[in-house]
Amino acid sequence: MKYRPRTFLLELVMIAVAIGFLFPVYVLVTLAFKDPQQIANRPLSLPSPPSVGSFGEAWRSADLGSALLNSTLITVVSVVLLIAFGSLAAYFLARTATRLSYSLYILFLVGIILPFQLGMIPLYQLVDNAGLLGTYQGMIIFYTGIQLPFTVFLYTGFIRSLPADYTNAALIDGASHLQAFAHVIFPLLRPITGTVLILNAVQIWNDFFTPLLYLGGSGHETVPVRVFAFVNQYTSNYGLVAAGLILAALPILLLFLILQRYVIRGFASGLKG
């Protein structure tokens, strides 16, 4: 494509749009680097001199370190279980042409459009009765179940588009079904496993509603729940809240920058039914 005067004009327009788009980030960053006096006098100006005191204080008072660990643990284990359970089930559903497997597939699809609010309260009771409120296990089981329909849907679509079976040779060589799946089929699913991993990880990491209900006050809170409590506690201390928000968002933004191509591809490709 040639770079014409019109292209240059478009470039200027798009950059102007991006600057406007980033205005909220400017507001946040300038607040975080100002002391309360500067905020009171000139809230929107650039900080001069910049002060970084809010960051240390926010990190400690929001207890972000432990929240990051909680989020990481819950996200990683849930995603691993989703990949394992989802790919196995989808392989059965995609490679078996019986009425049972078709009905099961439809049953999973129903879960995609069923809003989780419908089962929210009975599930809360179930988790409570099982003694799993405030635990990692409760959250991990919840995420594995709630994200399974979408995961099964993605894997089944992908497996159906693969050419027929490669497992037969392995099975005839005496491997078990599980070994054949793990060594022959699973590696072929890498592209869709990447998508499943990214979409589920972002969803679980950022989820708020259920961890608020299940983990609030337990000490096992994830980052969004901890930030919510922190902001409500220090609501009038703008600099401190802004610094806390930046620190809490930074890990996932850095990860996004490192894996940008995969993340964008995952979001763009994952939903082609």
Residues 63-82 that bind another protein (CB under 8 A): 81
Upstream peptide bond of 149 is cis (omega within 30 degrees of 0): no
Closer residue to another protein in complex, CB, 52/268: 268
What is the DSSP secondary-structure string of 180-198?
HIIIIIGGGGHHHHHHHHH
Out of 46, 80, 253, 258, point to the residue binding another protein (CB under 8 A).
253
Closer residue to another protein in complex, CB, 201/220: 201
92 binds another protein (CB under 8 A): yes
Q: How far is the CB of 104 from another protein (least distance, A)?
A: 6
Distance CA 124, CA 130 (A): 10
> Which segment (18-26, 48-56, 61-69, 187-195) binds another protein by CB under 8 A?
18-26
Q: How far is the CB of 72 from another protein (least distance, A)?
A: 14
Q: How far is the CB of 53 from another protein (least distance, A)?
A: 19
91 binds another protein (CB under 8 A): yes
Q: Is 249 helix (H, G, I), strand (E, B) or coil?
A: helix
Q: How many CB atoms lie within 10 A of CB 88?
A: 18
Q: How far is the CB of 248 from another protein (least distance, A)?
A: 6
263 binds another protein (CB under 8 A): yes
| Burial state string for 180-208 with b = 16 or more CB within 10 A and e = fewer than 16 | bbeebbbeebeebbbbbbbbbbbbbbebe
What is the DSSP secondary-structure string of 93-126?
HHH--SHHHHHHHHHHHHHHHS-THHHHHHHHHH
257 binds another protein (CB under 8 A): yes
Task: Scan residues 95-154 and list those touching another protein (CB under 8 A).
Answer: 95-96, 100-101, 104, 107-108, 111, 113-123, 125-126, 141-142, 144-146, 148-149, 152
> Which segment (1-9, 46-54, 57-65, 187-195) binds another protein by CB under 8 A?
1-9
CA dihedral 157, 158, 159, 164 (to 10 degrees): 110
258 binds another protein (CB under 8 A): no
Residue reference for tokens 């079976």: 165
Q: How far is the CB of 13 from another protein (least distance, A)?
A: 7
